[in-house]
């Protein structure tokens, strides 16, 4: 019987012909109890009592998964015994899929960490060698006093810039993150970045748009008509949001999945496109070639919202600037060729027009030429100029489908088909992720993806654009965070791009000098000398000064670090003190000197947000901190008290010449603002009160129900609109508001001299780096069973897989090495070795070894998943002093990619 027939069969007449609807199951024949009547029914209440509870509370999980899911935790006899999705997000509108319920299988068993053997129960001090696992129990007073004395010793003998703080992502736990940064701000310590270090920062966004990242929330996927999922394995790594993609497809959206390996997202696509690893940029530029040649681009859009009409000098490759044409002219004003006047004209909206009537993208009566070569009389004489569009057209001509097919392995006709579909179907978007961004030339990849979205007029419209999701980088209530994190102001904080800091202090040997005109160290020196990138301790490139204290909280720095073995060998011995603050033992803690036990996510107030939805969730203290653990906010106050007890003070001279006295004798009052911020809850309320996004909200109010943001910061590209899913660049498109790029619009041409020297002034394909002379690409993507290293040692997640580290390998590669499924294997190259088990899988292409990342070092018999990696920096990402390209914390800095690593595999003989 069909569903419709079943429903019709349940309609029966009653009384005077009235039609009533009865449950269909009532029509079935009733079956008596098969064992008859029985006297004892206590077993029924036994099951009910197992799920009985005293009360429940609200929390979320601060694990950088981009989920930011609100959970209901049930408590009985003061034990948190059950978690389930809360499912009370207010819907945006009735036509969009709901965010409810929201969660995944990992969040459903976080309680294992609350009570499991991994949980840190009290302060620990190292009693053996680092990494040996020998500890002794310490009191909070002993541990914090020891740390404080080490910090004071480092500052007094070597300077405050030898004390370094590292954590990751305030979006996942704002109060936890802010506490450490706040203390660092007060004592003059260095705070390290995270978004660039883990290579989650998509460099193409600051290069092209002048933003860190600004992506739509997941509900806007439903508004798309065409989606290319390009290197973002949503079905495995964005489980709470995956339904928006599948529901969009059910609604008629065409889904194209582009990955080297066949993965769960590929299964749910209309078309799967297997691309050779690291050649994605060539594929994107080939699509742009088709769009260009067939004139499928949106001419009106690109004239107004991109730099394509702007004139470029043919003698130098530089933009034609006002100071080329007019004495004392601005270097930040640029020209187009106005067809209505038949002469060059200054284009509105550029950096040089800021705070003037010309700061707009409204062209008025101006009609810029897209193509052509023109003769211009400048202050230095007659020159020829052309447009960015003309140069782009020349560049794209080299990426024809037959040629690119050889590079990418994608059929030429298929590339042409996808390009036509993408250009002709509107709105269309590309969803990007780590699959492309963890490659060395990630900046070129993301620039080429943005190019496709902009050429077709899809940036700034509902359902369109380039949207990128890796890491929970976006903290919406930014002003509230800044108010709490930097009591002395941002100008008095030492910020450090972590990739550069680690590269230098771990003595990483450059393996990419052959790719560039000069050795990498020359670019580093020039960047630091010019003030483009900070590097602490100051002068380290010349005086060899080293960091002395490293404090890590809410992150697993060592386990996730590229260049793992070099860090252990070269950086770790330089450090007099390593402190790890966490709720569980991890690899970083194993190699630390002091471990401080933090409260779990069930035991504190905190705040969580994400790019993927527009709500704010709280953590709440559902149960008391277990054993001798404390909340991070309270731990920082204990450290402030220990530092205060030293009565230390010093005169600090910051870069730029700012001088101030740092007096530790008032540190507790400075940290808590004379007690007003002593509680975790008050710290959270401070954030809510000082941000436009959360004006009028209270910690108690969002505990009752998550709230949608009421506004957005001026630096964001879009407003929050009632009944509309958030999407990026509304203000550019709808309000004609310029971007923060040098040209004020989407900028695809970068005329910084380094970019010109490297041939990267426009998006260009450069092949994957093959410096490791081994046959297999080492692919370590995010997976289904952990969020980075969290849950990698959790038994219920381990039971859903093989229970130990495994490497997926193509059958032909296994056969060539005489390997069988589940063999113990050694993965190796010149940087390090790992021992794991083999899983033979047909979905992995030949030439690739695939291991889901995050395994703790103690999960392995030998090595760790980052052992084969090193740090390879691109000089383009050390650039500064150019419009939108200037170091800002977690906005612009060198990324530490790892997907160009190559290895080999052999059977392991112990």
Residue-wise DSSP of 504-568? HHTTPPPS-GGGSSS-HHHHHHHHHHTTSS--SSTTHHHH-----EEEEESS-HHHH-TTHHHII
CA distance linking residue 127 with residue 136, whole number of Å: 6
The whole-number average pLDDT for the span 477-482 is 96
pLDDT band of residue 498 (cuts 50, 70, 90) is very high
Confidence of residue 6 (pLDDT cuts 50, 70, 90): very low
pLDDT in tens, 195-239: 999 999 999 999 999 999 999 999 999 999 999 999 999 999 999
CATH of domain 776-907: 2.40.40.20
Q: Is the pLDDT of residue 559 over 80?
A: yes
Q: What integer pLDDT is reported at residue 26 of this predicted model?
A: 62
Reported pTM: 0.94
Q: What is the mean pLDDT of residues 263-280?
A: 97
The mean per-residue pLDDT over the stretch 682-708 comes to 98
List residues bridging with 663 in a β-sheet. Answer: 649
Measured distance CA(221)–CA(246) in Å, rounded: 10
The end-to-end CA distance of the chain, in Å, is 61
Mean pLDDT of 760-777: 97
- Given its phi and psi angles, is residue 84 left (phi above 0), alpha (psi -120 to 50 degrees) or beta? beta
pLDDT given at position 24: 57
- CATH fold label, 203-276+398-468: Dimethylsulfoxide Reductase; domain 2 (3.40.228)
Read off the pLDDT band of 381 (50, 70, 90): very high
**Exposure of 508 by Cβ count < 10 A (0-12 exposed, 13-18 middle, 19+ buried)?**
buried
pLDDT score recorded for residue 28: 67
Greatest Cα pair distance in the chain: 107
Domain layout of the chain by residue ranges: 12-115, 124-198+476-505+539-708, 203-276+398-468, 300-393+734-758, 776-907
Q: Do the Cβ atoms of 390 and 292 come closer than 8 Å?
A: no
- What does the pLDDT average to over 793-804? 92
A 10 A CB-CB count for 340 gives 10
Q: What is the mean pLDDT of residues 698-723?
A: 96
Q: What is the percent of the chain where pLDDT is above 90?
A: 92
Question: Contact 852/844 with Cβ under 8 angstroms?
Answer: no
Helix and strand tally (H, E) in the chain? 32, 34
Thinking of the domain 12-115, which architecture would CATH place it in?
Single Sheet (2.20)
Q: How confident is the model at residue 35 (pLDDT cuts 50, 70, 90)?
A: low
pLDDT of residue 894: 98
Single out the residue of 556, 432, 552 nearest to residue 64, CA to CA. Answer: 556
Please state the rounded mean pLDDT for residues 581-587.
97
> What is the pairing mode between strands 824-828 and 833-840?
antiparallel
pLDDT digits (tens, 9 = 90+) for 85-109: 999 999 999 999 999 999 999 999 8
**pLDDT single digits (tens) 383-397:** 999 999 999 999 999
| pLDDT value of residue 897 | 94
Instruction: Flag whether pLDDT at 424 surpasses 60.
Output: yes
The answer on pLDDT for 10 being more than 50 is no
Phi first, then psi, for residue 189 (nearest 5°) are -75, 170
- Which of these, 746, 612, 670, 581, lies nearest to 232 by C-alpha position? 612
CB atoms within 10 A of CB 489: 10
Residue with tokens 């009733």: 30
pLDDT number for residue 772: 93
User: Helix crossing, 388-396 with 280-293: angle to 10°?
Assistant: 110
For the beta carbon of residue 696, count every other beta carbon within 10 angstroms. 9
Let me know: does 620 contact 594? Beta carbons within 8 Å: no
User: How far is Cα 335 from Cα 512, in angstroms, rounded to an integer?
Assistant: 37
The count of other CB atoms within 10 Å of the CB of residue 112 is 17
> Would you state the pLDDT for residue 46?
81
CA-wise closest residue to 368 among 301, 316, 315, 319: 301
CB atoms within 10 A of CB 618: 27
Q: Which residues pair with 270 in a beta bridge?
A: none
CATH 3.40.50.12770, domain 124-198+476-505+539-708, yes or no: yes
Split at pLDDT 50, 70, 90, the class of 47 is: confident
Q: What is the pLDDT of residue 474?
A: 79
Average pLDDT, the chain: 95
Residue 597 pLDDT more than 50?
yes
Paired sense of beta strands 190-192 and 494-496, if any: parallel
Give yes or no for residue 878 having a pLDDT over 70. Answer: yes
- Residues 6 or more apart whose CB falls under 8 angstroms from that of 101 comprise 85, 86, 87
Write the CB contacts of 253 (distance below 8 Å, at least 6 apart in sequence).
221, 222, 224, 225, 226, 227
The pLDDT assigned to 5 comes to 42
Do 274 and 418 meet the contact criterion of CB atoms below 8 Å apart? no
Q: Of all helices (H) and strands (E), which one includes residue 258?
A: strand 254-259
Return the residue matching tokens 């040997």. 509
pLDDT band at 8 (very low <50, low <70, confident <90, very high): very low
Model confidence at 51, in pLDDT bands (50, 70, 90)? confident
Tell me, what's the pLDDT at 27?
Answer: 64
pLDDT at 11 over 60: no
In the structure, what pLDDT confidence band is assigned to residue 7 with cuts at 50, 70 and 90?
A: very low
pLDDT of residue 62: 82
Cα(903)–Cα(866) distance, integer angstroms = 12
Examine the pLDDT at 22 and tell me if it is beyond 60: no
How far CA 180 is from CA of 185, 633, 675, 786, in Å, comes to 9, 8, 17, 26
Q: Give percent above pLDDT 70 in the chain.
A: 95
């Amino acid at each position: 019987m069909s569903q419709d027939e079943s429903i019709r069969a349940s309609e029966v007449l009653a009384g005077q012909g009235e039609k009533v609807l009865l449950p269909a199951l009532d029509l079935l024949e009733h079956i008596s109890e098969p064992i008859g009547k029985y006297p004892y029914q206590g077993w029924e209440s036994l099951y009910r009592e197992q799920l009985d509870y005293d009360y429940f509370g609200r929390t979320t999980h601060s694990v950088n998964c981009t989920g930011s899911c609100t959970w209901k935790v049930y408590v009985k006899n003061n034990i948190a015994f059950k978690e389930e999705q809360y499912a009370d997000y207010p819907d945006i509108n009735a036509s969009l899929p709901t965010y409810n319920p929201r969660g995944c299988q990992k969040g459903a068993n976080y309680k294992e960490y609350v009570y499991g053997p991994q949980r840190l129960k009290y302060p620990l001090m190292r009693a053996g060698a680092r990494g040996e696992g020998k500890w002794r129990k310490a009191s909070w007073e002993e541990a914090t006093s020891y740390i404080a004395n080490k910090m004071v010793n480092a500052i007094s003998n070597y300077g405050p810039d030898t004390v370094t703080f590292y954590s990751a992502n305030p979006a996942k736990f704002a109060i936890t993150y802010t506490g450490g940064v706040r203390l660092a701000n007060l004592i003059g310590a260095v705070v390290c970045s995270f978004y660039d270090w883990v290579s989650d920062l998509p460099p193409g966004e600051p290069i092209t748009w002048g933003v860190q990242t600004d992506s739509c929330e997941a509900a806007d996927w439903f508004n798309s008509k065409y989606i290319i999922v390009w290197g973002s394995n949503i079905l495995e790594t964005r489980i709470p949001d995956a339904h928006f993609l599948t529901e969009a497809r059910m609604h008629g959206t065409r889904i194209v999945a582009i990955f080297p390996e066949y993965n769960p997202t590929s299964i749910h696509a209309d078309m799967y496109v297997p691309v050779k690893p690291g050649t994605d940029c060539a594929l994107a530029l080939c699509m742009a070639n088709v769009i260009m040649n067939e004139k499928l681009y949106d001419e009106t859009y690109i004239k107004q919202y991109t730099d394509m009409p702007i004139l470029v000098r043919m003698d130098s490759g530089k933009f034609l600037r006002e100071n080329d044409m007019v004495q004392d002219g601005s270097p930040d004003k640029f020209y187009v060729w106005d067809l209505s006047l038949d002469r060059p004209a200054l284009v509105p909206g550029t950096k040089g027009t800021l705070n003037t009537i010309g700061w707009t993208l409204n062209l008025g009566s101006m009609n810029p030429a897209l193509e052509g070569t023109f003769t211009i009389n400048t202050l230095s004489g007659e020159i020829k100029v052309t447009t960015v569009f003309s140069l782009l057209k020349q560049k794209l001509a080299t990426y024809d489908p037959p040629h690119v097919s050889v590079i990418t392995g994608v059929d030429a006709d298929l590339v042409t088909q996808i390009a036509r579909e993408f250009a002709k179907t509107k709105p269309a978007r590309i969803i990007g992720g780590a699959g492309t961004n963890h490659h060395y030339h990630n900046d070129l990849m993301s620039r080429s993806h943005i190019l496709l979205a902009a050429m077709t007029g899809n940036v700034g419209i509902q359902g369109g654009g380039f949207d990128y999701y890796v890491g929970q980088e976006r903290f919406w209530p930014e002003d509230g965070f800044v108010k709490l994190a930097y009591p002395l102001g941002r100008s008095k904080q030492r910020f450090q791009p972590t990739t550069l800091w680690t590269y230098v202090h771990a003595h990483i040997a450059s393996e990419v000098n052959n790719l560039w005109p000069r050795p990498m160290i020359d670019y580093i020196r020039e960047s630091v000398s010019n003030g483009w990138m900070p590097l602490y301790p100051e002068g380290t490139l010349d005086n060899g000064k080293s960091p002395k204290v490293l404090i890590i909280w809410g992150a697993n720095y060592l386990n996730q670090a590229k260049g793992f073995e070099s860090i252990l060998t070269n950086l770790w011995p330089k450090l007099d003190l390593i402190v790890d603050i966490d709720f569980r033992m991890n690899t970083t803690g194993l190699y630390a000197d002091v471990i401080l036990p933090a409260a779990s996510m069930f035991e504190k107030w905190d705040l969580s947000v994400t790019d993927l939805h527009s709500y704010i969730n709280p953590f709440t203290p559902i149960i008391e901190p277990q054993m001798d653990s404390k909340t991070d906010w309270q731990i920082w106050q204990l450290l402030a008290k220990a530092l205060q007890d030293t009565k230390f003070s010093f005169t600090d001279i910051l870069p730029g010449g700012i001088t101030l006295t740092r007096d530790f004798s008032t540190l507790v009052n400075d940290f808590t603002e004379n007690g007003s911020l002593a509680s975790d809850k008050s710290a959270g309320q401070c954030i809510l009160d000082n941000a436009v996004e959360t004006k009028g909200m209270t910690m108690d109010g969002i505990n009752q129900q998550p709230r949608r943001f009421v506004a957005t910061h001026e630096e964001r590209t879009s407003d929050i609109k009632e009944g509309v899913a958030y999407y990026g660049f509304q203000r550019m498109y709808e309000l004609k508001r310029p971007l923060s790029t040098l040209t004020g619009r989407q900028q695809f041409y970068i005329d910084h001299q380094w970019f010109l020297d490297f041939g990267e002034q426009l998006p260009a394909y450069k092949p994957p780096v093959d410096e490791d002379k081994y046959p297999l690409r080492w692919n370590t993507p995010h997976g289904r069973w952990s969020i980075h290293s969290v849950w990698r040692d959790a038994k219920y997640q381990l039971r859903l897989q093989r229970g130990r580290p495994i490497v997926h390998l193509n059958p032909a590669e296994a056969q060539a090495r005489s390997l069988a499924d589940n063999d113990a294997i050694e993965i190796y190259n010149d940087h390090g070795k790992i021992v794991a088990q083999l899983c033979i899988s047909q979905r992995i292409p030949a030439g690739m070894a695939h291991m889901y990342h995050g395994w703790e070092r103690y999960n392995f018999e030998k090595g760790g998943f980052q052992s084969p990696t090193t740090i390879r920096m691109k000089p383009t990402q050390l650039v500064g002093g150019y419009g939108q390209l200037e170091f800002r914390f977690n906005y612009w800095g060198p990324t530490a990619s790892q997907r160009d690593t190559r290895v080999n595999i052999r059977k392991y003989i112990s």
